[in-house]
């Protein structure tokens, strides 16, 4: 018995010796243990002694989120519902009412009912505001109310919603929905295939490959791969999609971390399907993460011409870590680097400004890298397209209008006051655009430019120093000039705003499928891609 006890003690001592000898323990463990003990005692005393009743769950939720807010926005805590939502997003399997939904403070807004699925068959439309799910009032629900719409296939749910001022209730039977990574592919002309890749879930490479083969059977000898608006997803699927167009054993992406086991290199593992087909990749400011791995790798290998607007600039990699009680944490573990060695992370979350906002890497601090053919490419600010389409870049005023859902709301009103039957021939008229400008006025839309923000800060400082009377006249002149700029900016961004309005309106009548069809005939980025593909000399010269 003594020998057994002695053996256990020796093993325990050896284990502790190994644990205590690690660098992480030496540098961090005492401080971590100290802070956890402080927090535990604080949390206990607060809940026991605070003058009013407290909700420990809410307090802890706030504490966790506040702690993580000081890091990057991709390091997140997931409760049980969030874990399931993440699984659905990655797997592409979903059971619910079959609609894309926006969660607002007091309601859920239908962004798009998926064609021929439950919500669509029940008559729900984009713009409908869900205020009650069964007996649960959305405004009273503290978690993500969109979870209320999910449930087992075949179960029923009563939806109470507002439409154009009227309240309605409808019963919907939930059903399974296959969320496609490739929602559309078609021939743009007799030799050009077009593939829309909207997310990098587990089906991304399989569906992209299937689309490519189908298009080649239809006669495609050149290809447009559309990654616009694609927020990313699974890193290994980004590698697999790249592998469709480049040979086996090619470096696609490298990840670097402070934890050695997360330092990895990802190479293509299979023979390519087509290494020769001329390829244009479309990106914009909402193309992020895995989209940037694909577009950046194909650009670095001189395998594709990239067209559109600079991508989002997310060069950070996350990994899920299971926690207790079915919860989970997604932690940023590393940065990724394209084959040329560049990291395209645009925002610096570790050196924030005086307002606590992440700072953007300045252009003068970009570093130059070389593609295989020696073309210069740069880090620090997303993937820069080889050919930039001016209308693809969102200006500050366009972003402000979109962030307030004003394009979406105008399209809702337009749908109920107009009839559109001709998809390919649709064009937003001048009177329609004038109506949109008038609508902006009725909403009281106003946005503050960074210049205005700085100007107001300067006036506050001047007031503290008693100098406001001296600079007041100049301040008023500058303020009036900025207001005039903002008024003119609506017309200055007319082309882009009309394009955004057109897209949203077409989606109301013809769903996303109709919008992709409209794109093939009218979209400026696709037109630019076609002009490059149809000019082999230009295509080759760009890649040289």
Residue 88, in any domain of the structure: no
Which residue of the set 186, 205, 287, 289 is catalytic? Answer: 289
- Output the CA–CA distances (angstroms, integers) from residue 441 to 227, 360, 399, 437, in the order listed: 34, 32, 17, 7
Helices (H), 301-427: 396-403, 406-415
Asked if residue 370 and residue 436 are part of one domain, the reply reads no
- Distance separating the N- and C-terminal Cα atoms of the chain: 77
We report the CATH number of the domain holding residue 387 as 3.90.226.10
Which residue of the set 120, 128, 300, 386 is catalytic? Answer: 300
Q: Which tokens sit at 178?
A: 């296959």
Choosing from 178, 205, 240, the residue where a domain stops is 178
Q: Which of 539, 502, 507 is closest to 524 using CA atoms?
A: 502
Residue 438, in any domain of the structure: yes
Asked if residue 507 and residue 364 are part of one domain, the reply reads no
Residue 276, in any domain of the structure: yes
Helices (H), 352-429: 396-403, 406-415
Asked if residue 221 and residue 157 are part of one domain, the reply reads no
Asked if residue 368 and residue 236 are part of one domain, the reply reads yes
Asked if residue 296 and residue 336 are part of one domain, the reply reads yes
Asked if residue 332 and residue 193 are part of one domain, the reply reads yes
Choosing from 178, 194, 226, the residue where a domain stops is 178
Tell me how many domains the chain contains: 4
Asked if residue 402 and residue 386 are part of one domain, the reply reads no
Residue 17, in any domain of the structure: no
CA dihedral 139, 94, 161, 146 (to 10 degrees): 10
Helix or strand holding residue 77 (H, E): strand 76-78
Residue 529, in any domain of the structure: no
> pLDDT truncated to tens, each residue of the chain (544 aa)?
444 444 444 444 444 444 444 544 455 778 888 888 998 999 999 989 998 888 888 888 888 888 888 899 999 888 777 776 666 555 555 688 999 999 888 899 999 999 999 999 999 999 999 999 999 999 988 777 888 898 888 999 999 999 999 999 999 999 988 889 999 999 999 999 999 999 999 999 999 999 999 999 999 999 999 999 999 999 999 999 999 999 999 999 999 998 899 999 999 999 999 999 999 999 999 999 999 999 999 999 999 999 999 999 999 998 889 888 888 888 999 999 999 999 999 988 888 877 778 888 778 888 999 999 999 999 988 999 999 998 888 888 899 899 999 999 999 999 999 999 888 889 999 999 999 999 998 998 877 666 767 777 776 777 777 767 777 777 777 777 777 776 778 888 999 999 999 999 999 999 999 999 999 999 999 999 999 999 999 999 999 8
Residue 494, in any domain of the structure: yes
Asked if residue 236 and residue 359 are part of one domain, the reply reads yes
Is residue 314 annotated as part of the catalytic site, yes or no? yes
Host domain of residue 57: 27-69
Asked if residue 335 and residue 245 are part of one domain, the reply reads yes
Is residue 8 annotated as part of the catalytic site, yes or no? no
Asked if residue 326 and residue 405 are part of one domain, the reply reads no
Choosing from 178, 200, 226, the residue where a domain stops is 178
Asked if residue 504 and residue 401 are part of one domain, the reply reads yes
We report the CATH number of the domain holding residue 106 as 2.30.42.10
Residue 8, in any domain of the structure: no
- Output the CA–CA distances (angstroms, integers) from residue 462 to 106, 158, 326, 470, 478, in the order listed: 40, 58, 54, 9, 15
Residues 333-383 pLDDT 10s:
999 999 999 999 998 888 887 777 888 877 888 899 999 999 999 998 899
Q: Which tokens sit at 505?
A: 């309106």
Residue 538, in any domain of the structure: no
Is residue 128 annotated as part of the catalytic site, yes or no? no
Task: Specify burial of residue 292 (Cβ count, 10 A radius: 0-12, 13-18, 19+).
Answer: buried
pLDDT above 90 covers a percentage of the chain that reads 60
Which residue of the set 107, 132, 314, 528 is catalytic? Answer: 314
Cβ-proximal residues to 520 (8 Å cutoff; 6+ apart), any chain? 186, 188, 194, 526
Asked if residue 200 and residue 344 are part of one domain, the reply reads yes
């Amino acid at each position: 018995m003594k020998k057994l006890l002695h053996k256990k003690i020796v093993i325990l001592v050896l284990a502790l010796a190994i644990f205590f000898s690690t660098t992480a323990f030496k540098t961090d463990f005492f401080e971590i243990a100290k802070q956890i003990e402080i927090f535990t005692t604080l949390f206990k005393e607060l809940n026991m002694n605070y003058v009013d009743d407290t909700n420990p769950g809410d307090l802890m939720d706030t504490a966790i989120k506040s702690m993580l807010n000081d890091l990057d926005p991709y390091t997140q805590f997931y409760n049980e519902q969030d874990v399931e939502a993440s699984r659905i997003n990655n797997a592409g399997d979903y059971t619910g009412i079959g609609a894309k939904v926006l969660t607002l403070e007091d309601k859920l807004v239908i962004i798009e009912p998926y064609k021929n699925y439950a919500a669509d068959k029940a008559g729900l439309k984009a713009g409908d505001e869900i205020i009650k799910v069964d007996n649960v009032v959305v405004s009273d629900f503290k978690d993500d109310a969109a979870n209320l719409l999910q449930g087992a296939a075949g179960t029923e749910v009563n939806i109470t919603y507002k439409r154009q001022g009227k309240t309605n209730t409808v019963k919907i039977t939930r059903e399974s929905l296959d969320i496609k990574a490739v929602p559309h592919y078609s021939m743009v002309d007799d030799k050009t295939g077009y593939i829309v890749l909207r997310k990098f879930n587990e089906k991304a490479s399989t569906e992209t490959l299937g689309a490519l083969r189908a298009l080649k059977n239809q006669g495609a000898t050149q290809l447009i791969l559309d990654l616009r608006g694609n927020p990313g997803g699974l890193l290994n699927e980004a590698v697999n999609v790249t592998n469709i167009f480049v040979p086996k054993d090619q470096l696609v992406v490298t990840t670097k971390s402070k934890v050695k086991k997360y330092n990895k290199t990802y190479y293509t593992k299979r023979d390519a399907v087509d290494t020769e087909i001329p390829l244009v990749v479309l990106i914009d400011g909402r193309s992020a993460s895995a989209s940037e791995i694909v577009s950046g790798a194909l650009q670095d290998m001189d395998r594709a011409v990239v067209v559109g607007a600079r991508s989002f600039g997310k060069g950070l990699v996350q990994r899920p870590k299971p926690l207790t009680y079915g919860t989970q944490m997604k932690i940023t573990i590393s940065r990724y680097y394209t084959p040329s060695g560049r990291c395209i992370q645009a925002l610096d979350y570790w050196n924030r400004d005086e307002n606590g906002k992440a700072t953007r890497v300045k252009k003068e601090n970009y570093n130059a890298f070389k593609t295989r053919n020696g073309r210069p490419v740069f880090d620090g600010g997303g993937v820069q397209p080889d050919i930039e389409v001016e209308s693809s870049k969102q200006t500050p005023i366009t972003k402000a209008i979109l962030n307030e859902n004003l394009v979406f709301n105008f399209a809702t009103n337009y749908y109920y006051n107009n009839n559109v039957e001709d998809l390919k021939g649709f064009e937003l008229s001048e009177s329609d655009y004038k109506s949109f400008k008038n609508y902006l006025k009725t909403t009281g839309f106003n946005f503050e430019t960074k210049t205005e923000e700085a100007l107001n800060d300067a006036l506050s400082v001047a007031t503290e120093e008693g100098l406001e009377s001296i600079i007041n006249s100049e301040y008023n002149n500058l303020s009036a000039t900025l207001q005039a700029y903002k008024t003119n900016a609506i017309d200055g961004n007319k082309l882009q705003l009309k394009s955004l309005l057109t897209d949203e309106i077409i989606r109301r009548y013809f769903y996303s499928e109709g919008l992709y069809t409209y794109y093939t005939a009218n979209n400026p980025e696709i037109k630019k891609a076609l002009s490059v593909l149809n000019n082999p000399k230009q295509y080759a010269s760009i890649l040289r």
